[in-house]
Amino acid sequence: MRSKFAKLVFYIALILVCVLVAYFLANWLFTTVPIEGPSMEPTIHDGDTVILYKQGKYERGDVVIFNTHKLDPDGKERYYVKRIIALGGDTVEIKADTDGVYRIFVNGEAIDEPYLGEGIPSARVADASTLITVPDGQFYFCGDNRLNSEDSRSGLLCNVDDIVGRVILRYVQDDGIGDISLIKRPYALLPAA
């Protein structure tokens, strides 16, 4: 009788621990978010679902979701998914490179953006800007679909504290078949010195 009671208590405790661990992972470390809009194509598409890692430091090149503190037409807060191009203290300028192509320069160096799709420019002539310094605690962000993205090129900056998390996986479901792909951190946006 005693051993059956001990087993029952053990199994109940095990189930409670599993529930608590699942709750902790789902609410403190990870969360899933459905994506609306094409601003991150080809990396993330409209209709994809992404998994965010909610802890850690953020680096140039990370794809993040953050609160813009703007309201959508329904009165809900708007969240953006974008790529961090520069962090607080970095200088950013959009200008023509030596080959005449407009690019984003961070701290005087043209950034390397292999994640942009074939034929997607890093920047356009219309994006040309004066040199800005990103204030401490904020970040400069761009969508990977530079032709269809509202981002820092129009003067928007956001606080690092408003980041919900870094995208680590995207899930696509087409015709009932799922596809999961890892969203890797680029080794570096800036070329090696």
How far apart, in whole angstroms, are the C-alpha atoms of residue 135 and residue 122?
A: 23
Q: What is the pLDDT of residue 192?
A: 47
Beta strands at 91-96 and 102-106: parallel, antiparallel or unpaired: antiparallel
Do residues 131 and 92 lie in contact, with contact meaning Cβ atoms separated by under 8 Å? Answer: yes
Instruction: Please determine, for residue 182, whether its predicted confidence score (pLDDT) is greater than 80.
Output: no
Measured CA to CA, the distance from residue 159 to residue 179 in angstroms comes to 32
Query: For position 193, what pLDDT does the model report?
Result: 42
Reported as a single tens digit per residue, the pLDDT across 111-150 is: 989 888 777 788 888 888 889 999 999 999 999 999 899 9
- Name the pLDDT band for 189 (thresholds 50, 70, 90): low
- The confidence band for 1, taking pLDDT boundaries of 50, 70 and 90, is low
DSSP symbol at 122: S
User: Quick check: helix, strand or coil at residue 16?
Assistant: helix
Indicate which residues carry an active-site annotation. 39, 82
Mean pLDDT of 142-169: 93
Nearest Cα neighbor of 111 from 138, 83, 136 is: 83
- The span from the CA of 58 to the CA of 140, in Å, is 12
| Dmax (CA) of the chain | 83
| Cα separation, 94 vs 128, whole angstroms | 5
Q: How many alpha carbons fall within 13 Å on the CB side of residue 138?
A: 16
Strand, coil or helix: 10:
helix
Identify which of 134, 151, 133, 129 has the alpha carbon closest to the alpha carbon of residue 142.
151
